[in-house]
Amino acid sequence: MKFIIDVHSHIFSARDIPLKGYLLSRNYEDKIQKLLSPILIPSIAKCIRGKLNREKNVFIKIKCKCTMGLVRLFMGGQYLKWGDTLSKDIESIISELIETFEKDEIDLFIPLMIDYEYWFKNTPDTLIKDQIDFIYENVILPYEGKFHPFVSFDPARELAFRKKLCNPDGDPEKYGSMNLVKDAIEKKGFIGVKLYNSMGYKPFNNASVDDKRRRISLHKKKYVFKGEEYDEVLTELYDYCVENEVPITTHCGMYGIESYPDASFDFGKAVYWRDVLDQEKFKNLHLNLAHFGWYTPEGYTGKITWVKDICKMLDDYNYLFTDVSCHRVVLKKYIRKFKSDYKKIGSDFPIVKERLLFGTDWHVLKRVPNFRDFKDDYIDVLKHENNFNDAEIKNFLSGNALNFLGLYKGGKNLKRLEKFYKDNNINPPEWFKSIRLSDGRS
Ligand SMILES: [Zn+2]
């Protein structure tokens, strides 16, 4: 059976994240946007949250109309449309996601939760535990196998919990990240864990970046933890994930959301994961380096490239994968470069064809024009000059993802889902029935 898995999407609303810090932390390539974003973004964040909370004050509403006019002018219409999605509730975001990719016939969506609370300036957001419960009740259960998200793990939250500190909102931290992960994976239909190294922690060997982490002067320095402490909680997470065959996706791009400009280079380089995967006990960790470390102007052949590093790593580790989410293939000016880069990758590192994962990064992808063509345009790039054949495209769209997710005969994720459907009286979706009957990994 042919089916499609999107391994990387988002369904968070403006209420679920510290919105202002999140928007400010983005790297804006356009010079005018870079200049204006510190002035515009605080108002944008207020207006998006206001819309979500059904702001009634007429004066504020008029002010926001003007702000959004400026946004259209300087940040572009797509940015405005993305802001529109952020100002919806999760149920409406889900409906929009399904509508957006209706023609692509995606069978399984994997929304990735994010947890930025300890890393950005404080704008009170929905408690992470409440987000998990809400998604479980309003997304996972009613959609019966169409959504199985990854739950976020934040080592800073875990350390604050262990040290009995207060959270950035000023209340005692009641929820450790580790307990939240176990509950979501074992009882609530989540199938993996999301990490975000560029916030301020390396995959391992964190003592080596203690000085860099001191640059993050947030929350009156309430959450300064030692590198060894980060390693300790991360090691516990990896132990749990290996033991229970839980896959991890980590953000891996040169630029994007980061705790300070270029923090991605201090904490989030792909090669830092060698420190984890080289440890005998973690060699079977299922890991996805999201975004393929891709930075559009550089791609595979540029001077600074993580893409080549990742390709080499794919050869070294059997359970390492990489997703293509948010790549700019929908922009005509980059198509030729994508095609020639993949042609080279295909001949230098054929292993990529077994490890490349389809993922959109919607709704963040909404900032790019023509985002609806993402899947078709990506397939065009890969098929160029017979680079990927039909079977390899099929693996890109689902087969590789099944291996990453551990959804094959005997896999623990498959067993957990089987139990989840049974416990919750859910008739398993067609894609699940077909893999259960198959003979295992291709
Ligand atoms: Zn993403």
CATH number at residue 226: 3.20.20.140
Residue 277 lies inside a defined structural domain of this protein? yes
Which pLDDT belongs to residue 65? 86
From CA 48, how far away is CA 65, in angstroms rounded? 11
How is residue 373 annotated by DSSP? G
Which pLDDT belongs to residue 97? 97
pTM of the predicted structure, to 2 decimals: 0.95
> Ligand 1 center to residue 293 CA distance, Å?
12
299-318 burial: b if 16+ Cβ within 10 Å, else e: bbebeebbbbbbbebbeebe
> Ligand 1 center to residue 290 CA distance, Å?
8
Which pLDDT belongs to residue 407? 95
Which pLDDT belongs to residue 220? 67
User: Domain containing 167: what range?
Assistant: 5-12+89-437
Residue 295 lies inside a defined structural domain of this protein? yes
Which pLDDT belongs to residue 439? 52
> Ligand 1 center to residue 110 CA distance, Å?
11
Which pLDDT belongs to residue 74? 82
> Ligand 1 center to residue 58 CA distance, Å?
35
Mean pLDDT by 10 residues, the chain (442 residues): 92 92 82 83 87 83 85 85 93 96 94 94 85 98 98 97 93 95 98 97 97 81 91 98 98 89 94 98 97 90 91 97 95 93 96 98 93 96 96 96 94 96 97 77 51
Helices (H), 331-373: 332-348, 352-355
Residue 281 lies inside a defined structural domain of this protein? yes
Q: How many CB atoms lie within 10 A of CB 425?
A: 8
Residue 83 lies inside a defined structural domain of this protein? no
Number of domains into which the chain is organized: 1
> Ligand 1 center to residue 425 CA distance, Å?
31
Residue 33 lies inside a defined structural domain of this protein? no
Sign of CA dihedral 258, 195, 401, 106: negative
Residue 394 lies inside a defined structural domain of this protein? yes
> Ligand 1 center to residue 106 CA distance, Å?
17
Strands (DSSP E) along 130-261, which ranges? 150-152, 192-195, 248-251
Residue 206 lies inside a defined structural domain of this protein? yes
